[in-house]
């Protein structure tokens, strides 16, 4: 029997029983559990095979609930919450004492966001605890943007995926922390740096592996297909390097006319970065199923969401 269901009451019941439920958000599906249940939180780490040093994001219904989670909210964090919540922005703030150490990997900060998905907001409203939810994929693999992706990963491990359709934004939330009240970007994501800077001015970007201890999820290899993947500026110039192989192509706007290509996906014919982001992970999932020898991905323009997409493609190439 399929674990995919639209029954919110059943999700409420499972979560109240300290079980896990995969939930839809606007970014990617999350593997959710009660933040105050040690059993549920340990099951999240175990199911994902995620190392305990990698902290989880806490999901709440609105900024009004922030006081229950964090000790202190810098002025710029307030502005960001006002501008972007509910939405794909995660704030890393000093944690309250009641937030279990397991959630934060022992750090004294906690990552928190308000997801923008009607089903999950309704679910959160019917629970009397926030949900910890990392992306619902095994550690290091491609994040899920449909209920079926999650089912493919975890049908033998969890009882339910709450079906909320395909995720509209398609890549994870942008993560911002504060050092001496000044914002630092830990992870590029579905809220662009440009949009953030319009609200709070210049933001320092620490999205490289040298900050791994600060944002441990930013390990180099991440979001990665099983198939060897390369990222190039020009696909057509690269195809001859892989002659005789089963070649898959992930193009931004233009379909490449070349009979040596076995399987090809174009992310956005209308050249929309928003559309490209929403289709990125599903495209990688599809490409990974074609028994290809290599996936050649095209680098996108390095602006707005293009930066976030390029970041994910870059991590998909690390072996
Ligand atoms: O869009 C998203 O953010 C999705 C959906 C489900 O909400 N969640 C998600 O979670 O991407 P996850 O666990 O795959 O990534 C969480 C990231 C990790 O890179 C982790 O290191 C970082 O958040 N993080 C969590 N707590 C942190 C903290 N206290 N300080 C710095 N980074 C933190
Ligand atoms: Mg993840």
Do 200 and 247 reside in the same domain of the chain? no
Instruction: Give yes or no for residue 141 CB within 6 A of ligand 1.
Output: no
Asked if residue 100 is part of any domain, the answer here is yes
Do 126 and 94 reside in the same domain of the chain? yes
Do 164 and 17 reside in the same domain of the chain? yes
- CATH code of the domain containing 168: 3.90.870.10
User: Residue 288 Cα, ligand 1 centroid: separation in angstroms?
Assistant: 24
- Which of the listed residues 44, 134, 315 should we mutate to test ligand 1's pocket, taking the one with most ligand atoms within 8 A of CB? 134
Asked if residue 223 is part of any domain, the answer here is no
Instruction: Give yes or no for residue 253 CB within 6 A of ligand 1.
Output: no
**Confidence at residue 79, expressed as pLDDT on a 0 to 100 scale:** 98
- CATH code of the domain containing 265: 3.40.50.11030
Do 201 and 235 reside in the same domain of the chain? no
**Confidence at residue 318, expressed as pLDDT on a 0 to 100 scale:** 81
**Confidence at residue 211, expressed as pLDDT on a 0 to 100 scale:** 40
Asked if residue 215 is part of any domain, the answer here is no
Do 201 and 260 reside in the same domain of the chain? no
User: Residue 201 Cα, ligand 1 centroid: separation in angstroms?
Assistant: 23
Do 135 and 235 reside in the same domain of the chain? no
Do 146 and 37 reside in the same domain of the chain? yes
Asked if residue 44 is part of any domain, the answer here is yes
Q: Which atom of ligand 1 is nearest to the CA of 113?
A: 7
Asked if residue 135 is part of any domain, the answer here is yes
Asked if residue 85 is part of any domain, the answer here is yes
Do 8 and 155 reside in the same domain of the chain? yes
Asked if residue 222 is part of any domain, the answer here is no
State which residues of the chain have pLDDT below 70. Answer: 207-220
Do 179 and 237 reside in the same domain of the chain? no
User: Residue 93 Cα, ligand 2 centroid: separation in angstroms?
Assistant: 19
Do 261 and 113 reside in the same domain of the chain? no
Number of domains in the chain: 2
User: Residue 88 Cα, ligand 2 centroid: separation in angstroms?
Assistant: 14
Instruction: Give yes or no for residue 317 CB within 6 A of ligand 1.
Output: no
- Which of the listed residues 107, 111, 161, 213 should we mutate to test ligand 1's pocket, taking the one with most ligand atoms within 8 A of CB? 111
Do 263 and 122 reside in the same domain of the chain? no
- Which of the listed residues 217, 220, 224, 315 should we mutate to test ligand 1's pocket, taking the one with most ligand atoms within 8 A of CB? 217
Do 235 and 283 reside in the same domain of the chain? yes
- Cβ atoms of residues 87 and 26 within 8 Å: yes
**Confidence at residue 207, expressed as pLDDT on a 0 to 100 scale:** 63
132-183 pLDDT tens trace: 999 999 998 999 999 999 999 999 999 999 999 999 999 999 999 999 999 9
Answer whether 0.85 is exceeded by the pTM: yes
Instruction: Give yes or no for residue 25 CB within 6 A of ligand 1.
Output: yes
Domain of 285, in residue numbers: 229-317
Asked if residue 185 is part of any domain, the answer here is yes
């Amino acid at each position: 029997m399929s674990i995919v269901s639209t029954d919110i009451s059943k999700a409420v019941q499972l979560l109240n029983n300290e079980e896990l439920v995969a939930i839809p958000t606007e970014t990617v599906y999350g593997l959710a559990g009660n933040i105050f249940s040690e059993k549920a939180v340990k099951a999240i780490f175990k199911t994902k095979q995620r190392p305990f040093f990698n902290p989880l994001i806490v999901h709440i219904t609105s900024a009004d609930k922030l006081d229950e989670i964090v000790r202190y909210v810098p002025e710029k964090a307030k502005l960001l919450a006002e501008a972007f919540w509910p939405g794909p922005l995660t704030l890393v703030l000093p944690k309250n004492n009641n937030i279990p150490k397991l959630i934060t990997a022992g750090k004294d900060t906690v990552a928190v966001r308000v997801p923008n998905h009607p089903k999950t907001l309704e679910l959160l409203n019917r629970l009397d605890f926030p949900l910890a939810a990392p992306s619902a994929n095994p550690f290091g693999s491609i994040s899920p943007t449909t209920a079926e992706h999650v089912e493919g990963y975890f049908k033998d491990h969890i009882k339910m995926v709450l079906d909320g359709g395909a995720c509209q934004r398609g890549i994870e939330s942008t993560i911002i922390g504060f050092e001496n009240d000044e914002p630092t970007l830990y992870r590029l994501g579905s809220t662009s740096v440009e949009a953030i800077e319009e609200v709070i001015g210049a933001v320092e970007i620490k999205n490289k592996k040298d900050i791994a201890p600060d944002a441990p999820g930013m390990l180099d290899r991440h979001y990665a297909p099983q198939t060897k993947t390369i990222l190039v500026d020009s696909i057509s110039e690269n195809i001859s390097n892989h002659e005789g192989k089963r070649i898959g192509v992930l193009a931004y706007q233009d379909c490449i006319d070349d009979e040596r290509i076995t399987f090809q996906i174009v992310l956005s014919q209308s050249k929309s970065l928003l559309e490209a982001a929403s289709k990125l992970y599903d495209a990688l999932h599809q490409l990974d199923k074609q028994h290809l020898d290599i996936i050649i991905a095209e680098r996108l323009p390095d602006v707005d969401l293009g930066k976030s997409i390029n970041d994910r493609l870059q991590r998909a190439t690390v072996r």
